[in-house]
Chain A
Amino acid sequence: MSIVINHLSFAYTQGGKKLEPTLKDLCFTIEEGAFLGIIGHTGSGKSTFVKHLNGLLPCEKGTVIVDGHDLSEKTERKTVRALVGMVFQYPEYQLFAETVYEDVSFGPKNMKLDTQEIDKRVKQAMELVGLNPDVFSERSPFDLSGGERRRTAIAGVLAMQPKYLVLDEPMAGLDPLGRREILALLEKLRKESGCTIIMISHSMDDIANHATKVLVLEQGSVFLYDTPNLVFSHAEELEKIGLSVPSVTKICIEMNRRGAKIPASICTEQAFLDWFREGNAHA
């Protein structure tokens, strides 16, 4: 199964008039089990695009088909919303309940699951994000640290057991350890439950290290859609549209400028060190 995006275009309306389109003729498929990283300059259409994946914005032109369910059909939206979970920017601002348990159980309750199933899912979700249910269930979300609040909000989405998890800059505002924890959680989810991850991020290092596919949006169009090593070998084009490249790519470019011959496709620390281990340099 997969998410198929076919000729999707979208324009916001202001004062009864259509504005310049935010999305222009997007066509591609997100494979199940992928870790898709979405990058693009502010205003490139990233957030507008992901809002189409569970019908928060209507498909005006073109289609979005999630596991065979066409989102242009209003009746399909409910089915798709159970499949596609959304974590917005600064999701902890949306916490509202008096206890962590109550907040995390809000989604499954709305899905009309029985109490036992809800309890099981809430505890599972809390454990997944590293919040021990025995310790945190009865705590107020507002007494938690920033990182814990963020993880509580993510647990609320995970408790609905989505097949596709969409996250809009989930690491914004967290310290380096908090960032690593969220990334480790996403990797674990993908490996253990086969959940497809779709993540908007400004951190090219994180995208290079974790994504299996990268979507580059530029002024509402697909600029590149490929594996990280192929996307980041287009460093010059990316810089022209105001995007940066991973730290490793920057080092490789500087090395090649000085006459080295390190492949442009190397964009992770792992691949970089392997190149040295293969005997391309002598310590």
Chain B
Amino acid sequence: MIQFDNVTFQYEKANVPALSEITLKINQGEFVAVVGHNGSGKSTLAKHINGLIVPTSGTVTVCGLRTDNEDNLLKIRQNVGMAFQNPDNQLVTTVVEEDVAFGPENLGIAPDEIRLRVDEALASVGMSDYAKNAVHHLSGGQKQRIAIAGILALKPKILVLDEASAMLDPSGRTELLQTVRKLHAAGMTVIMVTQYMEETIDCDRIVVMKSGRIVLTGTPVEVFKETDLLSESNLVPPETVVIRDSLRKLGFKLSDSVLHADQLAEAICPLL
């Protein structure tokens, strides 16, 4: 569904490329997390998926369309929705349902169809009760869900989140993550760039970036095993995994698949 072929990208005036020789394939319906240190290129990678940035060399193909062909961009952007870090920068109107309708209105969709899409989109992010509310009275987590509803109203096949949880408090982050998981379960392809390793535990695949390159990809179980490589990339596994590994050093036999607090408790209690 998304294919990066040997992609290198250098910002104007920069001395080194932000991305170097990236090759990555993301399948339909996959939930992929992209992690990396500040400046590792993870946001630059995300912005390639809907052609906000096009490669300096190499190609990105989305739903069979190359992003370096300008004629494809409209089609690509109808397929790829993007959510960014700051919720306040993504909302354009004052009332929730108007904000969600903004995208489809711009596409010239018929009013009846827009009504239908707005109601559906608000329902899928759990914000139907807020349709008539003022946008600026919502919490950060609610604003991000409205921003996502605005994207869903355009019926994209792919959802890209570029550190969308970074400015939210823990309950806002949980809200957002639950919403994204629900959309993924309903068939959406999700690419989530994040700073928080604990958010990646339940995704299908993690892509670890360091200085513009992909240094590791794999399932959470596979990636969290590579503690040395992670720490060379300025990252640490989720706290529960760190504790699991410390217990192993004390001699406890715990499987690599233990990632959550309840799994760790389940594995340890028989040994007490």
Contact = CB atoms under 8 A, between A and B. Distances in A.
Given A248-B243, A254-B261, A260-B272, A42 B253 contact: no
Nearest to A90: B167
Given A41-B171, A272-B243, A259 B166 contact: no
B186 to A, nearest CB: 27
Interface stretch (A7-15, A16-24, A172-180): A172-180
A42 B172 contact: yes
Interface string B22-43: 0000000000000011111000
Contact of B169 (A42, A257, A276): A42
Among A173, A242, A257, A281: residue with most chain B CB under 10 A: A281
B234 A176 contact: yes
Interface in B225-272: 234-236, 238-240, 242-243, 246-247, 250-253, 261-262, 264-266, 268-269, 271-272
A247 B252 contact: no
A254 B265 contact: yes
B243 A247 contact: yes
A251 B261 contact: yes
A281 B246 contact: no
A162 interface: no
Contact of B272 (A173, A244, A280): A280
A145 B38 contact: yes
A145 B37 CA distance: 11
Interface string A257-279: 11110000000010011001100
A192 B252 CA distance: 38
Contact of B261 (A43, A145, A242, A247): A247
Nearest to B247: A276
Nearest to A261: B272
Contacts of A283: 250-253, 271
A246 B37 CA distance: 23
B247 A254 contact: no
B178 interface: no
Contact of B38 (A43, A174, A246): A174
A282 B239 CA distance: 22
A202 B169 contact: yes
B197 A176 contact: yes
Contacts of B236: 176, 180
Contact of A251 (B140, B172, B240, B253): B240
Among A41, A242, A248, A254: residue with most chain B CB under 10 A: A254
A235 to B, nearest CB: 12
Contact of B167 (A172, A204, A276, A277): A172
Nearest to A146: B38
Nearest to B237: A176
B139 interface: yes
Interface residues of A, number: 41
Contact of B37 (A173, A175, A269, A273): A175
A184 interface: no
Contacts of A281: 252, 268, 271-272
Interface string A141-179: 000011100000000000000000000000011111110
A42 B243 contact: no
B197 to A, nearest CB: 7
Contact of B239 (A42, A175, A247, A280): A247
A250 interface: yes
A102 interface: no
B170 interface: yes
B239 A244 contact: no
Nearest to B141: A42
B269 A259 contact: yes
A144 to B, nearest CB: 10
Nearest to A174: B38
A32 interface: no
B195 interface: yes
B265 A258 contact: yes
Nearest to A173: B166
Contacts of A276: 247, 250, 252
A173 B36 CA distance: 12
A60 B239 CA distance: 42
Interface of B: 36-40, 139-140, 166-167, 169-172, 195, 197, 234-236, 238-240, 242-243, 246-247, 250-253, 261-262, 264-266, 268-269, 271-272
Given A178-B234, A273-B250, 17 more contacts: A42-B139, A43-B139, A147-B38, A173-B195, A176-B197, A204-B170, A247-B238, A247-B243, A251-B261, A251-B264, A251-B265, A254-B264, A269-B239, A273-B247, A280-B272, A282-B271, A283-B271
Smallest CB-CB A-B distances: 4 pairs: A283-B251, A254-B265, A247-B239, A177-B234
